[in-house]
Amino acid sequence: MADNRPIGVFDSGLGGLTVVKELLNALPDEDIVYFGDTDRVPYGTKSKETIRKFARQDEAFLLSKNVKLIVAACGTVSSVASDIGNQLPVPYVEVVSHAGKAAAMATKNGKIGVIGTNATINSGEHRRYILEYLPTAEVYCQSCTLFVPLVETGWVDENDPVVYETVKKYLTPLMEAQVDTLILGCTHYPVLSAAIKRVMGEKVTLINAGISTAEAVKKALAENGLLNQSGQKATCEYFVSDITPSFSKIAALLLGKAPQESSVQQVDIEKI
């Protein structure tokens, strides 16, 4: 059995493109429809009710595009609205559980750090999954509110004093706790990896949820007989709720290449 419908991926903004990058590597034959809620980003500082309402709208939009599987490429949505995702009429993959398992497998000293948005850290979901896989783990959590605005502004260079000092301020407690593994619990954070390593030390293992999530998507497609076997060149369509002036620059940073202009469209997500 094969299925040529696209995979739907969404995030509060452009951070989910770090997951798309890993999906393109792991599943080069799959078409992708991406939605980034660039008009309403960030989600991580909003109330649980608002994040859940936004998640429902984002998922409804992707379903209207006839997707065969939905990826919540957002740590915040994955943490507070996965029960909604699990009721969708198509398979749903989130980014938290796979990261928790990967960290539990990677740690040597049993000390794991988690960084994410306020909503993600307050949910305690990463801690719950880590302890499920490694009950003896010591888990240290830290919300890093300024990381998303830094990334959405394109400020990620580890040699930029503003970037370095911001990262240092948030991560010093985790460094002092001597975590040997750190979950990047927000999909915006992988592009800050160099700055994070500079603060935490080269030896710390960074868990990029996009990599384990792409593997989970591959498995879910195979198990449900949904892999695309048409042999045609895969396409990527990008929808955003606002095409901001810096869109191309930030998208290129997160995706590793600029999306083709013709593949980007604006949608009114409130009207879906």
Interacting residues with ligand DGL (CB under 6 A): 11-13, 15, 41-44, 74-76, 117, 120, 148, 186-188
Shortest separation between residue 188's beta carbon and ligand DGL, angstroms: 5
Q: Looking at 74, 141, 144, 236, which residue is catalytic?
A: 74
Nearer to ligand DGL, 209 or 221 (CB): 209
Residue for token pair 């980014």: 95
Please state, in angstroms and as integers, the Cα–Cα distance from residue 158 to each residue in 180, 192, 195, 197, 206, following that order.
Answer: 20, 8, 4, 9, 16
**DSSP secondary structure of 124-165:** THHHHHHHHH-TT-EEEEEE-TTHHHHHHHT---TTSHHHHH
Nearer to ligand DGL, 143 or 181 (CB): 143
> Does residue 236 have an active-site annotation?
no
Shortest separation between residue 1's beta carbon and ligand DGL, angstroms: 32
Contacts of residue 27, Cβ cutoff 8 Å, sequence gap at least 6: 7, 214, 217, 218, 221
Nearer to ligand DGL, 12 or 107 (CB): 12
Nearer to ligand DGL, 10 or 140 (CB): 10
Shortest separation between residue 45's beta carbon and ligand DGL, angstroms: 6
Shortest separation between residue 80's beta carbon and ligand DGL, angstroms: 10
Q: What angle do CA 176, 151, 141 make, to 5 degrees?
A: 30
> Does residue 141 have an active-site annotation?
no
> 258 near 21, Cβ under 8 Å?
no
- Catalytically active residues are 74, 186
